[in-house]
Amino acid sequence: MVQLFTQLVSPPINKMMILGLCLGIGLSSCGESKVTQCNKLILEISKLESIDQTFYEQMKNSESFEQAQSFDEFKQAAQEMSTAFNKIAEDITLYIEAIQNVKVADQELQTFQETYVEQGGHHRDLIQDASGVLNEVSQLNLDAEGRIKLDQLATAIDQFSVEVEKSSLTVADTIRTLQTYCGVTPMPPATELEPAPEVTPDSPPQ
- The residue extents of the domains of the chain are 50-178
- Residue 72: the pLDDT is 87
Measured between alpha carbons, how far is residue 117 from residues 44, 81, 136, 162 in Å? 12, 25, 29, 21
Q: How confident is the model at residue 30 (pLDDT cuts 50, 70, 90)?
A: very low
Tell me which residue of 24, 26, 17, 10 sits closest to 45, measured CA to CA: 17
Give the Cα separation of 159 and 97 in Å (integer).
Answer: 27
Residue 5 pLDDT exceeds 60: no
Average pLDDT, the chain: 75
- Residue 69: the pLDDT is 81
Give the Cα separation of 79 and 72 in Å (integer).
Answer: 10
From the CA atom positions of the chain, what is the Rg in Å?
Answer: 19
Q: Structure pTM?
A: 0.73
Q: How confident is the model at residue 24 (pLDDT cuts 50, 70, 90)?
A: very low
